[in-house]
C-alpha cells in the first residue's frame, strides 16, 4: 500500500529532474557554444567579425560577412520561391480542394519532410544545377557552373514546402466559418473573401509559419553545401556561388585543431545560428500557440 | 438522515482561474440513498461532484477552501492520501471509458493495484461484480476479449462493475446516462436504485425526469450556490425557493 | 469593379492555385524519380551485402554495408536512448502535471524551440561535449549527437499522441485509486501504436541526418563492433563518394542514395499507416 505511494513519488522526482534538465538544454547549448567561442572575442570585436570580409584563419582574419550574406541570400531566395507557392497551395487545400486531394497532399508533405537532406542535395546536383547552368543562367550571362545561391535557394525552397504548407493550412482552417459566411453573404466572391477576410485574419499565423520556415532554411547544412558552390565571397548576383554559415562549419570542422582561434570561430558561427534560430522559433511558436489556444476553447 | 453522514461539506469555496465556481457550499449527503445534483449547465454541479474524490486536483489554477469530510476524514487536509480517498468512491463518467485491456482485466484492475494477487479471489470478484451489474450472462464467454468491443451500454455497466470492484462506499455519477440509448439508460437507473441499499450514491444530472425517477434527495445548484436541498418530492413539487420553482417549471435552464 | 472582372480574377487565381499545388505535390516525385533513375543502374547485390574492399574508392570491389549497418546502429541506439529519456518526460508533462500548468507549458515551448535547432548545431555541441569527456569520433559520439537531435521530435510526437487520449480515461484510472504512475502505465498501453509512430519518425530522422554525425561518428570501412569504434553512416558515405572524380565511385553514391531513399520511404509510409490506423481506433 505505502510502497505504491513511495514508488509514485520517487518516480515523480526522477521525472521532474529529467524534464528540467532536458529543458535546460536550450540554455546549456547556448552557454556551451558561447564558452567555446569566447576566445575569439578577446582578439576581435563583434563588429569587426560581422563586417570583415576576409576569411584567412591562418592569418588570424575572421570576416564573417561573406558567410552571413551567403546565408541570407539562399534563405531569401528560398522564401521568395516557396512562400507564394505554398500560400496558394494551402489556400487551395483548405478552401477549394475536394477532401480527396487534401488526403493525398498532406501525407505527401509528410513524406517530403522525411526525405533526408543529403537526398535533396543529390537531387539538387542532378536536377537543379543543370537547369540553372543550361537554361536559366545563359539568359543573363556568359557562363555559370550552376552551383549558385539560386540553386541553393531552390533546393531549400523545396525543403521548406512541407513546413509551410502544413502550418499555413492549419492556421487557415482555424478561421471560423461564420466569418467567411458573413463576407460571402455581403456579395463577395469566394476569392474576395479569402483575400480580404481569411488571409487578413490568418496573417499572424502565416508570418509565424514563414519565420519557422526561414529558421529551418537558415540552419540547413548539407543540402545547401552540396549545391551552392562554397565560395567565401559575398554573392552579388543570384548566379554567384555562396558560402552559408552551416556549410562553413561542416566543411572545416575537425581540420582546425592546429590553427589558433579557428575552432572558436567555427563555434561562433554555430552560436550565431543558434541564437538567431532560437529567437525566430521562440517568437513564431508563441504566436502559433496563441492562435491554437484562441480557437481551441 | 444518520447522525454522521458519510459525506459532509463545510464552507466549501472553489476558485478556478480566478473565477468563483462554488460559493459557501454546506451540505451533508444522506447515506445509503440516491442524491441528485441538478441545475443549469455551467452552474458548478460537476465541479461539486469532482471535489468529492479530488479529481479537481487535475485542473490547473484551482484553489479549494473549506473542508469535505468523508468518513470523518477531511480529504483536503494536507496529510490526506488521495489514492486512499478515491478508492472509497466509484466514478461513472458521461461516457464509458474502458481501460485498454480485456473485460476481465478491467474489473480486476482495481483489486490488483490494491494488492489482490490471488487468481481465485480475483475470479470471484470479477464474477460477483459482473453479476451485480447484470453483465455476467452477456460476457461470461468472452471475459478475455477486449473491453472496447462491447456495446456502449455494456461498456458503461462494465465501468460500474470496475468501480464497484474496489469496494467503494460511495458511487459518483456524472451524467452517467447521457451517452446511452433509452434501454441502457433504464438498466443503469435500475442498478442505481438497487445499489443504494449498500452504497451512498451521488448523481449529477440535467434531466429532471431522471432525478424524479431515481433520487431520494435533490440538491439544486444555481450559479455556484446551493439554492435548495431536500427530499425529491418536496424540492420538485413544493419548492421553498422561487428560483427552484422557476427551474423546475423550465423557466431557467 | 464589374462582376465579370471579379469573376475573372477568381478564375485566374484558381488556376494559379492548382498549378502551385501541382508543383508542390510533384516535387516529391521529382526527387524520388531523379534518385531512382540515377541509382538503379548502379544498384547491385554487392552494394548492400559487402563492406568496401581494397581499392573501393578507386572503383574496385565492395559495397556500403559498413555504412548501412553504421547508420542502423547510430539511429537505433539513439532511438532507444531517446525513448528512455523522452517517455518519462512526456509522461511527466502530460500525466503527472496538471493540464495547463506553467512548467508543462514552458517545457513544451522549450521542446518546440529545440525541435527547430538545426542538426549542425547539435553536432557542434555534441562534439564539444565529446572533447570535454575525451571521447573520440565513434559510434558512441554519433549516438550522443543523434539522441540530442531526436529527443525533441520524440517528446513532441508523444505529446501529440497523449493529447488524443481522453482526459476521462486518466480520471477513470485515478478514481479507482490508481497512483499517477499506475495511471501512466494504463495510458501508455492505450497509445502503443502512437509510440511506434514516434519511434519510426525519429529513427528515420536519425538515419538520414548528416550534419549531426559529420564530426561525431567518424568514418570507417569496417563494420563497427565496439561502441568506441568510428562508424560510417549512409548519408556520409553518399556525400564522400559523390565528391570522388571516379565515375564508378560516383555511381555508387547514386546507388547509396537510392538505398537511403528506399529505407526512408518504407519508414515514413509504415508510420503513416500506423498513425491513421490509430486515429480510426479512437
The answer to whether residues B231 and B142 belong to one domain is: no
Task: Give me the pLDDT at residue A275, please.
Answer: 94
Question: Could you say which residues from 41 to 80 on chain A have a Cβ atom under 8 Å away from some Cβ of chain C?
Answer: none
What are the grid coordinates assigned to A91, written together? 489556400
CATH number, domain with residue B183:
3.40.50.300
Query: How near does any CA of chain A get to the CA of B189, in Å?
Result: 33
Tell me the pLDDT tens digit for each residue of A109-161: 999 999 999 999 999 999 999 999 999 988 888 888 899 999 999 999 999 99
- Whether chain A has a CB inside 8 Å of the CB on B17: the answer is no
Closest-CA residue in chain C for A247?
Answer: C120
Query: Domain limits at B174?
Result: 1-88+168-253
Q: Which subunits count as partners of chain C given 3+ CB pairs below 8 Å?
A: A, B
- List CB contacts of C50: < 8 A, sequence separation 6 or more: C61, C62, C63, C65
The answer to whether residues B17 and B130 belong to one domain is: no
Q: Please compute the mean of the pLDDT values over residues A286-292 and round it to a whole number.
A: 87
In a domain, C212, yes or no: yes
Query: How near does any CA of chain B get to the CA of A281, in Å?
Result: 26
In a domain, C174, yes or no: yes
The answer to whether residues B158 and B175 belong to one domain is: no
Q: Are A219 and C121 in contact (CB under 8 A)?
A: yes
- Whether chain B has a CB inside 8 Å of the CB on A257: the answer is no
The answer to whether residues C10 and C116 belong to one domain is: no
The answer to whether residues C27 and C53 belong to one domain is: no
The answer to whether residues B155 and B172 belong to one domain is: no
- Whether chain C has a CB inside 8 Å of the CB on A252: the answer is no
The answer to whether residues B65 and B125 belong to one domain is: no
Question: Which among B60, B97, B99 is the nearest to C99, CB-wise?
Answer: B60
The answer to whether residues C27 and C63 belong to one domain is: no
Q: Is pLDDT at B2 greater than 50 in this prediction?
A: no
The answer to whether residues B50 and B119 belong to one domain is: no
- Per-position DSSP letters for chain B, written without gaps between them: --SS-SEEEEEEEEEETTEEEEEEEEEEEPTTSEEEEE-STTSSHHHHHHHHTTGGGGBSSEEEEEEEEETTEETTSTT--HHHHHHTEEEE-SS----SSBHHHHHHHHHHHTT---HHHHHHHHHHHHHHTT-HHHHGGGTTSBGGGS-HHHHHHHHHHHHHTT--SEEEEESTTTTS-HHHHHHHHHHHHHHTTTSEEEEE-S-HHHHHHH-SEEEEEETTEEEEEEEHHHHHHS-SSHHHHHHHHTS--
In a domain, C42, yes or no: no
Tell me the pLDDT tens digit for each residue of A124-133: 999 999 999 9
Tell me the pLDDT tens digit for each residue of B193-222: 999 999 999 999 988 999 999 999 999 999
Task: Find which of C2, C17, C207 to mutate to test the A interface (most A CBs within 10 Å of its CB).
Answer: C17
DSSP for residue A55: E
Kindly give the confidence (pLDDT) of every residue in chain C, 282 residues in length, as a single tens digit, with 9 standing for 90 and above.
578 888 899 999 999 999 999 999 999 999 999 999 999 999 989 888 888 887 777 777 788 999 999 999 999 999 999 999 999 999 999 999 887 788 888 898 999 999 999 999 999 999 888 888 888 889 999 999 999 999 999 999 999 899 889 989 999 999 999 999 999 999 999 998 889 989 999 999 999 999 999 889 988 888 888 888 999 999 999 998 998 888 888 999 999 999 999 999 999 888 888 877 766 554
* Dihedral sign for Cα atoms in the order B45, B49, B52, B53: negative
The answer to whether residues B60 and B126 belong to one domain is: no
The residue among B165, B194, B222 that closes a domain is B165
Q: Which subunits count as partners of chain B given 3+ CB pairs below 8 Å?
A: A, C
Neighbour-count burial for A18-34, b at 16+ CB within 10 Å, e otherwise:
bbeebbebbeebbebbe
Beta pairing, strands B170-174 & B200-204: parallel
Residues of C in contact with B163 (CB under 8 A): 175-176
In a domain, C109, yes or no: yes
The residue among B137, B165, B193 that closes a domain is B165
Query: How near does any CA of chain B get to the CA of A8, in Å?
Result: 11
Least confident range of A234-248, B1-15, C61-75:
B1-15
The answer to whether residues B130 and B80 belong to one domain is: no
In a domain, B93, yes or no: no
Q: For a pLDDT cut of 70, what percent of chain B falls above it?
A: 98
The answer to whether residues C231 and C270 belong to one domain is: yes
Alpha-carbon distance of C154 to C203, in angstroms, equals 10
The answer to whether residues C110 and C230 belong to one domain is: yes
Q: Is pLDDT at A245 greater than 70 in this prediction?
A: yes
Tell me the pLDDT tens digit for each residue of A20-31: 988 888 899 999
User: Is B81 in Cβ contact with A5 (below 8 Å)?
Assistant: yes
In a domain, C187, yes or no: yes
User: Is C168 in Cβ contact with B90 (below 8 Å)?
Assistant: no
User: Is B81 in Cβ contact with A4 (below 8 Å)?
Assistant: no
Task: Give me the pLDDT at residue B1, please.
Answer: 44
Helix spans in chain C (H): 3-39, 45-49, 65-91, 102-116, 119-133, 139-163, 167-175, 180-190, 192-208, 234-242, 247-281
Task: Give me the pLDDT at residue A255, please.
Answer: 65
Helix crossing, C139-163 with C192-208: angle to 10°? 140
In a domain, C37, yes or no: no
Tell me the pLDDT tens digit for each residue of A28-60: 999 999 999 999 999 899 999 999 888 988 888
In a domain, B94, yes or no: no
The answer to whether residues C206 and C75 belong to one domain is: yes
The answer to whether residues C10 and C105 belong to one domain is: no
Tell me the pLDDT tens digit for each residue of A62-111: 999 999 999 999 999 999 999 999 999 999 999 999 999 998 998 899 99
Task: Give me the pLDDT at residue A256, please.
Answer: 56
Task: Give me the pLDDT at residue C282, please.
Answer: 45
The residue among B129, B150, B165 that closes a domain is B165
Tell me the pLDDT tens digit for each residue of B118-140: 999 999 999 999 999 999 999 99
The answer to whether residues C14 and C71 belong to one domain is: no
What is the CB neighbour count within 10 angstroms for residue C248? 14
Q: How many domains does chain B have?
A: 2
Question: Which among C170, C171, C179 is the nearest to B83, CB-wise?
Answer: C179
The answer to whether residues C26 and C161 belong to one domain is: no
Give me the domains of chain A, ranges plus CATH numbers.
Answer: 46-296 (1.10.3720.10)
The answer to whether residues C107 and C235 belong to one domain is: yes
In a domain, B124, yes or no: yes
The answer to whether residues B103 and B146 belong to one domain is: yes
The answer to whether residues B143 and B64 belong to one domain is: no
Strand partners, B102: B146
Q: How much is the pTM?
A: 0.89
The answer to whether residues B121 and B179 belong to one domain is: no
The answer to whether residues B160 and B198 belong to one domain is: no
In a domain, C250, yes or no: yes
Q: Which subunits count as partners of chain A given 3+ CB pairs below 8 Å?
A: B, C
CATH number, domain with residue C244:
1.10.3720.10
Query: Domain limits at C134?
Result: 49-281
Cα C201 to the center of its chain, rounded Å: 5
In a domain, C92, yes or no: yes
Compute the half-sphere exposure of residue A278: CA atoms within 13 Å on the CB side of its CA: 16
Kindly provide the ipTM of the predicted complex, given to two decimals: 0.91
User: Is C106 in Cβ contact with A222 (below 8 Å)?
Assistant: no
- Whether chain A has a CB inside 8 Å of the CB on B19: the answer is no
Task: Give me the pLDDT at residue C115, please.
Answer: 92
Helix crossing, C180-190 with A2-23: angle to 10°? 70
The answer to whether residues C269 and C241 belong to one domain is: yes
Question: Which among B60, B61, B83 is the nearest to C178, CB-wise?
Answer: B83
Q: How many domains does chain C have?
A: 2
In a domain, B131, yes or no: yes
The answer to whether residues C207 and C180 belong to one domain is: yes
Residues of C in contact with B172 (CB under 8 A): 175
Alpha-carbon distance of B29 to C137, in angstroms, equals 69
pLDDT band for A254, please (50, 70, 90 cuts): low
Least confident range of A292-296, B32-36, C155-159, C262-266:
A292-296
Amino acid at each position: 500500500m505505502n510502497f505504491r505511494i513511495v514508488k509514485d513519488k520517487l518516480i515523480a522526482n526522477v521525472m521532474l529532474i529529467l524534464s528540467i534538465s532536458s529543458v535546460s538544454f536550450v540554455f546549456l547549448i547556448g552557454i556551451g557554444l558561447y564558452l567555446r567561442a569566447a576566445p575569439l572575442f578577446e582578439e576581435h570585436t563583434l563588429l569587426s567579425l560581422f563586417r570583415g570580409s576576409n576569411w584567412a584563419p591562418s592569418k588570424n582574419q575572421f570576416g564573417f560577412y561573406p558567410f552571413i550574406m551567403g546565408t541570407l541570400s539562399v534563405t531569401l531566395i528560398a522564401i521568395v520561391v516557396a512562400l507564394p507557392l505554398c500560400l496558394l497551395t494551402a489556400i487551395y487545400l483548405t478552401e477549394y480542394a475536394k477532401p480527396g486531394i487534401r488526403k493525398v497532399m498532406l501525407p505527401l508533405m509528410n513524406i517530403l519532410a522525411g526525405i533526408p537532406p543529403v537526398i535533396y542535395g543529390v537531387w539538387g546536383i542532378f536536377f537543379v544545377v543543370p537547369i540553372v547552368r543550361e537554361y536559366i543562367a545563359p539568359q543573363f550571362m556568359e557562363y555559370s557552373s550552376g552551383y549558385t545561391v539560386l540553386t541553393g535557394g531552390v533546393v531549400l525552397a523545396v525543403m521548406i514546402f512541407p513546413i509551410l504548407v502544413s502550418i499555413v493550412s492549419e492556421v487557415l482552417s482555424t478561421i471560423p466559418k461564420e466569418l467567411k459566411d458573413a463576407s460571402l453573404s455581403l456579395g463577395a466572391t469566394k476569392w474576395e473573401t479569402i483575400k480580404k477576410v481569411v488571409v487578413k485574419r490568418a496573417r499572424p499565423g502565416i508570418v509565424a509559419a514563414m519565420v519557422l520556415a526561414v529558421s529551418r532554411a537558415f540552419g540547413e547544412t548539407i543540402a545547401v553545401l552540396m549545391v551552392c558552390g562554397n565560395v567565401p565571397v559575398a554573392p552579388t548576383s543570384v548566379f554567384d556561388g555562396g558560402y552559408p554559415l552551416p556549410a562553413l562549419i561542416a566543411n572545416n570542422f575537425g581540420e582546425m585543431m592546429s590553427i589558433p582561434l579557428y575552432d572558436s570561430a567555427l563555434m561562433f558561427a554555430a552560436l550565431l545560428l543558434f541564437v538567431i534560430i532560437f529567437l525566430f522559433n521562440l517568437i513564431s511558436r508563441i504566436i502559433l500557440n496563441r492562435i491554437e489556444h484562441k480557437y481551441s476553447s | 438522515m444518520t447522525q454522521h453522514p458519510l459525506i459532509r461539506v463545510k464552507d466549501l469555496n472553489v476558485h478556478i482561474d480566478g473565477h468563483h465556481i462554488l460559493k459557501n457550499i454546506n451540505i451533508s449527503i444522506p447515506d445509503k440513498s440516491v442524491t441528485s445534483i441538478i441545475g443549469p449547465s455551467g452552474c458548478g454541479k460537476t465541479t461539486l461532484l469532482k471535489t468529492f474524490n479530488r479529481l479537481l486536483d487535475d485542473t490547473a489554477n484551482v484553489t479549494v477552501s473549506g473542508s469535505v469530510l468523508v468518513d470523518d476524514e477531511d480529504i483536503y487536509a494536507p496529510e490526506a492520501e488521495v489514492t486512499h480517498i478515491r478508492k472509497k468512491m466509484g466514478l461513472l463518467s458521461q461516457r464509458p471509458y474502458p481501460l485498454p485491456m480485456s473485460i476481465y482485466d478491467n474489473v480486476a484492475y482495481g483489486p490488483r493495484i490494491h494488492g489482490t494477487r490471488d487468481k481465485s479471489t480475483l475470479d470471484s470478484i470479477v464474477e460477483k461484480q459482473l453479476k451485480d451489474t447484470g453483465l455476467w450472462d452477456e460476457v461470461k464467454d468472452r471475459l478475455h476479449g477486449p473491453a472496447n468491443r462491447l456495446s456502449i451500454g455494456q461498456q458503461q455497466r462494465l465501468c460500474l462493475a470496475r468501480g464497484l470492484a474496489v469496494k467503494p462506499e460511495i458511487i459518483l455519477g456524472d451524467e452517467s446516462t447521457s451517452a446511452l440509448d433509452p434501454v441502457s439508460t433504464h438498466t443503469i437507473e435500475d442498478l442505481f436504485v438497487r445499489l443504494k441499499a449498500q452504497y451512498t450514491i451521488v448523481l449529477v444530472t440535467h434531466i429532471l425526469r431522471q432525478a424524479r425517477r431515481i433520487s431520494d434527495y435533490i440538491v439544486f445548484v444555481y450559479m455556484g450556490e446551493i439554492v435548495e436541498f431536500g427530499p425529491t418530492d418536496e424540492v420538485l413539487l413544493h419548492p421553498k425557493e422561487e428560483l427552484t420553482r422557476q427551474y423546475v417549471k423550465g423557466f431557467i435552464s | 469593379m464589374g462582376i465579370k472582372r471579379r469573376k475573372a480574377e477568381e478564375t485566374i487565381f484558381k488556376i494559379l492555385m492548382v498549378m502551385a499545388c501541382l508543383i508542390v505535390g510533384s516535387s516529391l516525385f521529382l526527387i524520388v524519380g531523379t534518385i531512382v533513375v540515377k541509382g538503379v543502374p548502379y544498384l547491385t547485390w554487392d552494394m548492400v551485402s559487402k563492406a568496401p574492399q581494397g581499392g573501393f574508392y578507386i572503383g574496385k570491389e565492395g559495397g556500403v554495408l559498413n555504412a548501412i549497418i553504421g547508420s542502423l546502429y547510430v539511429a537505433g541506439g539513439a532511438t532507444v536512448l531517446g525513448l528512455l529519456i523522452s517517455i518519462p518526460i512526456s509522461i511527466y508533462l502530460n500525466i503527472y502535471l496538471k493540464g495547463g500548468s506553467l512548467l508543462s507549458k514552458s517545457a513544451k515551448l522549450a521542446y518546440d524551440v529545440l525541435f527547430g535547432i538545426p542538426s549542425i548545431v547539435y553536432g557542434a555541441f555534441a562534439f564539444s561535449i565529446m572533447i570535454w569527456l575525451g571521447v573520440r569520433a565513434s559510434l558512441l559520439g554519433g549516438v550522443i549527437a543523434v539522441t540530442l537531435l531526436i529527443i525533441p521530435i520524440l517528446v513532441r510526437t508523444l505529446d501529440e499522441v497523449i493529447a488524443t487520449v481522453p482526459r476521462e480515461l486518466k480520471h477513470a484510472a485515478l478514481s479507482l485509486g490508481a497512483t499517477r504512475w499506475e495511471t501512466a502505465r494504463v495510458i501508455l498501453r492505450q497509445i502503443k501504436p502512437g509510440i511506434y509512430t514516434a519511434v519510426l519518425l525519429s529513427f528515420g530522422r536519425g538515419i538520414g541526418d548528416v550534419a549531426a554525425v559529420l564530426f561525431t561518428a567518424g568514418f570507417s570501412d569496417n563494420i563497427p563492433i565496439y561502441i568506441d569504434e568510428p562508424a560510417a553512416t549512409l548519408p556520409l558515405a553518399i556525400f564522400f563518394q559523390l565528391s570522388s572524380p571516379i565515375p564508378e565511385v560516383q555511381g555508387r553514391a547514386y546507388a547509396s542514395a537510392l538505398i537511403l531513399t528506399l529505407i526512408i520511404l518504407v519508414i515514413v509510409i509504415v508510420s503513416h499507416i500506423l498513425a491513421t490506423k490509430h486515429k480510426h481506433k479512437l
